[in-house]
């Protein structure tokens, strides 16, 4: 048995290595023995965790563990059961959501398995029988024809005008013409293996016979399934940041709570049980237990906005990941292009014309391109057939050419079908005067060998060497632009020959013209590429198409500079580079052509090694491993396979690259708003911690646990969520991507949290000092009660005032708008009322240990609230002047 790949083996070597007979096939007994030995022709599924295992896995996060401990302490020690219930509800909801997302992620491999074809036509014991494709074994002789799905990987032995659509595997936009010729070399790319049929690809034309050389997980699709199973789940920048933030905050807050507890006991500020409750209350209040829920809500709101812009998010963290994306590796067909062959240029009468200029008058070019054509027009107007041929008929329709009427007047009476050797197709049509119109289309170089005359307007003259040179030069120029060229010629004969074949009808032809077709770029794609570049994102094209096609489209879109050959690399050239060499060179390349699935994963990994956040788009089975490996996988909603959608984090409802750029903008807004929420929460919590710490250190009366917990409950949640729906700040798409190394404290947020938290604490302590220095009562108990009430009101109110500051880290509050966000306005009002009711409504005073304040005391409280806005505005102004 030979060790060479099946495509490099001769017919005799294939039959010998698989121990089969082309005319007889395998015997039933031999097939059953091989099936028992090697297993069914099906894809293996990866090991799945039970729902319970997945649920328990959600509780391994450090911050989640701390929150659970905090809930237990809040309930059983502090007896704040409401607070404990809120924490537990948040934790459990997050766990349920995590289980749901993991279940969605496993759909990719399940979708692959469901793609298996139900039946196959094979020769068994000399008879053609139909069997389930799962029973196929290596050595089976399989018969396929147009409309079939290839049931396993097979080496073609016979081919009659066979074309197979392999875009789901290779990314190539047009069906591949197959033949049986042995290929040389051991590293021929999938898209160039013209003597192979691959499992789950579609027969679009002709028929063939092949010998099965691989089944199940050994097929090309099986290799992809294995790569999906083996791919490690990547953590998003958001998840990494939240995890690190949770650990750092929790440790810091627990240390501070311990210090407050120790110092309070040492100074005799309260009894041991009271100080313990105070320290625990401080820890519970300072830990932003609502943060996971707030982030989830902000992300969920972001998904709704994205859905309205045709970006359907399957995994919530993907919303934010888009905002940090630095590389977008995009598939070409259908995403950057329209996935529809279109006539772009026509050459006739010695002149090159844009398709929009059209063909005028009775030029025979229209008849030839639509007559020598097997496209079927359905009753509803849709077309069935080869994409190239349907493009020709569609172009005829744009020129008001009525094909049905023309065929009724000149019916087809005979034909010479296309074959891959002569690369021509001819149809013969009966004319009203009894003569016959011969329409021939095909490869220009082959067509010109049969041309003796040329049409110019309404006249026909002899074909000269100058004509040939002009046509070949035009053909070469258009080919460099990645146009698919077809030549058109015709003749009129008096009678049908006895035998209709190439020799009898494809000679002495009259050249009518050339037609250049391409899968054109989407009209908005070039602007979207430019917008991505402006945003500091590098767009790249990864495709299974030929290098010339990929390079031409990339140049037209602005991904590369036209003629920049160094920016383009093929899968074969990539194979020739070691991982180390490719890692060094990866920044040179912006276009990858003729790539295989493992190449896409390699490209993604190379950029990730450089610390880049990579988004990968794709629609085929071949894209699934890379979609799963990327930081954010983007599937196609229209042309995408269920496999690619299942492996994706986000699906484009319109398969449009420009939608990705819009989603990036939304992702950046989401991250910015999460930052605002975190800045608000942490500065507020720092203010609470600092107030309690300094009151303890100074020996002042300490705010009660109920004060801290209520402030934490009513002022944290509503404003923080409302900040998550702030409108997009101007110029957000002119900023560079924040990347993987940045975090929630980047861009000045960390410094703002610290100094603004300190400012909140200082202002609160200042109001407390005013309360004890200029009292309205005479008894010491009443003085301290009023001062504590003033500190409680200030600490709560100052956070609500500060929420306005956080609308932008650097911009002025009056630039971003005081009241643009209605949700924010209502949140502030609701939080204010919940805080005010504890002081102003009779009956709550005793419950919350507060007193009634006079207007002087309220003036001090409100003055502190206004002061934080004024001070922050001044600091922002100075910062903007410094960084101008």
Residues in the chain: 884
| Residue 122 bridge partners (DSSP) | 129, 142
The gap from C-alpha 831 to its chain's centroid, in whole angstroms, comes to 38
- Judged against a pLDDT cut of 50, whether residue 101 lies above it is answered with no
If phi > 0 it is left, if psi is from -120 to 50 it is alpha, else beta; for residue 550 that is alpha
Across 79-102, average pLDDT: 63
Question: Which helix or strand (DSSP H or E) is residue 568 part of?
Answer: strand 568-570
**Which pLDDT score is estimated for 204?**
77
Question: Residue 285 and residue 283: Cα distance in Å, rounded?
Answer: 5
CB 481 within 8 A of CB 451: no
The count of other CB atoms within 10 Å of the CB of residue 562 is: 11
Question: Residue 255 and residue 263: Cα distance in Å, rounded?
Answer: 12
Looking at CATH, the fold of the domain delimited by 321-338+522-655 is given as: Rossmann fold (3.40.50)
What distance, in Å, lies between the first and last C-alpha atoms of the chain? 73
Confidence bin at 173 (pLDDT 50/70/90): low
Confidence bin at 46 (pLDDT 50/70/90): low
Does the pTM surpass 0.85? The reply is: no
How many helices (H) does the chain have, and how many strands (E)? 33, 26
Highest mean pLDDT among 45-59, 94-108, 632-646: 632-646
Considering the domain delimited by 355-518, tell me its CATH architecture.
3-Layer(aba) Sandwich (3.40)
Across 451-467, average pLDDT: 93
Question: Residue 795 and residue 785: Cα distance in Å, rounded?
Answer: 15
CB 206 within 8 A of CB 223: no
Q: Is 331 a residue of the active site?
A: yes
**Which pLDDT score is estimated for 116?**
43
Confidence bin at 41 (pLDDT 50/70/90): confident
Question: Which helix or strand (DSSP H or E) is residue 538 part of?
Answer: strand 538-542
Q: Name the average pLDDT for the chain.
A: 83
Confidence bin at 736 (pLDDT 50/70/90): confident
**Which pLDDT score is estimated for 707?**
79
Question: Which helix or strand (DSSP H or E) is residue 186 part of?
Answer: none
Tens digit of pLDDT for each residue in 174-233? Answer: 788 898 899 987 778 787 889 999 988 888 778 899 999 999 888 888 887 776 666 555
- Compute the C-alpha angle 549/554/559, nearest 5°: 165
CB 488 within 8 A of CB 623: no
CB 647 within 8 A of CB 283: no
Confidence bin at 619 (pLDDT 50/70/90): confident
- Judged against a pLDDT cut of 80, whether residue 330 lies above it is answered with yes
Confidence bin at 105 (pLDDT 50/70/90): very low
Contacts of 477 (CB under 8 A, 6+ apart): none
- Helix ranges (H only) for 508-612 are 525-534, 547-557, 571-575, 579-585, 597-609
| Residue 129 bridge partners (DSSP) | 122
Tens digit of pLDDT for each residue in 503-541? Answer: 999 999 999 999 999 988 888 999 999 999 999 999 999
Among residues 562, 626, 624, 572, the alpha carbon closest in space to that of 595 is found at 572
Considering the domain delimited by 240-309+664-731+743-882, tell me its CATH architecture.
Up-down Bundle (1.20)
**Which pLDDT score is estimated for 447?**
95
- Helix ranges (H only) for 151-204 are 167-170
Percentage of the chain lying above the pLDDT 70 cut: 86
- Judged against a pLDDT cut of 70, whether residue 236 lies above it is answered with no
Least confident window among 40-44, 264-268, 490-494: 264-268
Of the candidates 61, 140, 148, 331, the residue annotated as catalytic is 331
**Which pLDDT score is estimated for 496?**
93
CB 264 within 8 A of CB 275: yes
Question: Does domain 6-32+119-223 correspond to CATH entry 2.120.10.90?
Answer: no
Residue position matching structure tokens 């002119």: 734
Across 548-557, average pLDDT: 87
Pairing of the two strands 153-165 and 196-197: antiparallel
Among residues 451, 268, 281, 490, the alpha carbon closest in space to that of 368 is found at 490
Least confident window among 174-178, 243-247, 764-768, 828-832: 243-247
CA distances from 409 to 290, 505, 556 (A): 76, 21, 42
* Annotated domain spans of the chain: 6-32+119-223, 51-105, 240-309+664-731+743-882, 321-338+522-655, 355-518
């Amino acid at each position: 048995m030979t060790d060479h790949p099946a495509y490099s083996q001769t017919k005799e070597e294939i039959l010998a290595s698989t121990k089969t007979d082309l005319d007889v096939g395998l015997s039933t007994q031999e097939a059953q023995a091989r099936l028992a030995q090697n297993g069914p022709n099906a894809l293996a599924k990866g090991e799945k965790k039970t729902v319970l295992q997945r649920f328990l896995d959600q509780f391994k996060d450090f911050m989640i563990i701390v929150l659970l401990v905090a809930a237990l302490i809040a309930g059983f020690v502090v007896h704040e059961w409401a607070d404990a219930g809120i924490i537990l509800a948040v934790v459990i909801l997050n766990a349920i959501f995590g289980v749901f997302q993991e279940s969605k992620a496993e759909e990719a491999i399940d979708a692959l398995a469901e793609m298996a074809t139900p039946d196959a036509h094979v020769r068994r014991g000399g008879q053609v029988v139909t069997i389930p494709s799962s029973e196929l074994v290596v050595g089976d002789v399989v018969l396929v024809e147009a409309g079939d799905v290839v049931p396993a990987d097979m080496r073609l032995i016979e081919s009659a005008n066979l074309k197979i659509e392999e875009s789901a595997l290779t990314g190539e936009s047009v069906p591949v013409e197959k033949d049986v010729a042995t290929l040389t070399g051991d590293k021929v790319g999938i898209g160039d293996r013209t003597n192979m049929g691959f499992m789950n690809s579609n027969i679009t034309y002709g028929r063939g016979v092949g010998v099965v050389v691989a089944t199940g997980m050994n097929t090309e699709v099986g290799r992809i399934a294995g790569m999906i199973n083996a791919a490690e789940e990547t953590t998003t920048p958001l998840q990494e940041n939240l995890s690190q933030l949770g650990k750092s905050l929790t440790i810091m807050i627990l240390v501070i709570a311990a210090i407050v507890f120790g110092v309070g006991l040492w100074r005799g500020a309260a009894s041991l049980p009271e100080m313990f409750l105070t320290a625990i209350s401080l820890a519970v209040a300072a830990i932003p237990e609502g943060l996971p829920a707030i982030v989830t809500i902000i992300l969920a709101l972001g998904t709704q906005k994205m859905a309205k812009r045709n970006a359907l998010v399957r995994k919530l963290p993907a919303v934010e990941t888009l905002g940090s994306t630095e590389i977008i590796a995009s598939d070409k067909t259908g995403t950057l292009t329209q996935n529809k062959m279109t006539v772009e240029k026509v050459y006739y009468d010695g002149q090159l014309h844009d398709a929009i200029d059209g063909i005028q008058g009775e030029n025979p070019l229209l008849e030839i391109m639509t007559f020598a054509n097997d496209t079927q027009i359905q009753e509803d107007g849709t077309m069935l057939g080869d994409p190239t041929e349907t493009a020709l008929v569609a172009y005829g329709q744009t020129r008001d050419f009525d094909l049905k009427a023309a065929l009724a007047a000149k019916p087809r009476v005979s034909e010479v079908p296309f074959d891959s050797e002569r690369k021509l197709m001819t149809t013969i049509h009966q004319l009203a005067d009894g003569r016959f119109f011969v329409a021939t289309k095909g490869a220009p170089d082959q067509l010109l060998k049969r041309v003796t005359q040329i049409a110019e307007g309404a006249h026909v003259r002899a074909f000269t060497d100058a004509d040939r040179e002009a046509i070949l030069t035009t053909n070469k120029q258009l080919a460099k632009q990645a146009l698919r060229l077809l030549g058109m010629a015709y003749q009129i004969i008096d009678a049908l020959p006895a035998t209709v074949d190439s020799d009898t009808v494809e000679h002495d032809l009259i050249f009518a013209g050339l037609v250049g077709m391409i899968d054109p770029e989407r009209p908005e794609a070039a602007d979207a590429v430019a917008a991505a570049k402006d945003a500091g994102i590098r767009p790249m094209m990864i495709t299974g198409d030929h290098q010339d096609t990929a390079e031409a489209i990339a140049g037209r879109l602005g991904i590369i500079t036209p003629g920049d050959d160094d920016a383009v690399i093929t899968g074969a050239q990539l194979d020739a580079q070691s991982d180390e060499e490719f890692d060094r060179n990866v920044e040179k390349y912006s276009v990858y052509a003729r790539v295989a699935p493992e190449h896409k994963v390699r490209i993604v990994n190379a950029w990730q090694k450089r610390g880049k956040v990579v988004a990968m788009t794709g629609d085929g089975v071949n894209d699934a491993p890379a979609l799963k490996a990327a930081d954010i996988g983007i599937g196609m909603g229209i042309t995408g396979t269920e496999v690619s959608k299942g492996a994706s984090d986000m699906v484009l409802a319109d398969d449009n690259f420009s939608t990705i750029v819009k989603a990036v903008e939304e992702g950046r807004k989401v991250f910015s708003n999460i930052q605002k929420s975190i800045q608000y929460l942490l500065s507020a919590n720092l203010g609470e911690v600092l107030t309690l710490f300094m009151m303890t250190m100074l020996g002042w009366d300490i705010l009660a646990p109920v004060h801290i917990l209520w402030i934490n409950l009513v002022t944290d949640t509503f404003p923080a969520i409302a900040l998550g729906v702030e409108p997009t700040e101007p110029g957000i798409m002119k900023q560079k991507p924040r990347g993987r190394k940045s975090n929630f404290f980047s861009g000045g947020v960390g410094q703002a949290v610290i100094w603004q938290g300190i400012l909140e604490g200082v202002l609160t302590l200042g109001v407390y000092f005013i309360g004890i220095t200029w009292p309205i009562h005479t008894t010491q108990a009443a003085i301290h009660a009023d001062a504590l009430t003033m500190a409680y009101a200030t600490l709560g109110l100052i956070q609500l005032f500060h929420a306005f500051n956080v609308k932008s880290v650097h911009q002025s509050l009056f630039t971003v708008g005081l009241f643009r966000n209605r949700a924010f306005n209502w949140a502030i009002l609701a939080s204010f009322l919940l805080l005010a009711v504890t002081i102003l409504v009779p009956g709550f005073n005793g419950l919350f240990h507060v007193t009634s304040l006079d207007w002087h005391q309220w003036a001090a409280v409100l003055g502190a609230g206004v002061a934080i806005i004024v001070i922050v505005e001044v600091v922002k102004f100075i910062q903007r002047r410094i960084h101008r």
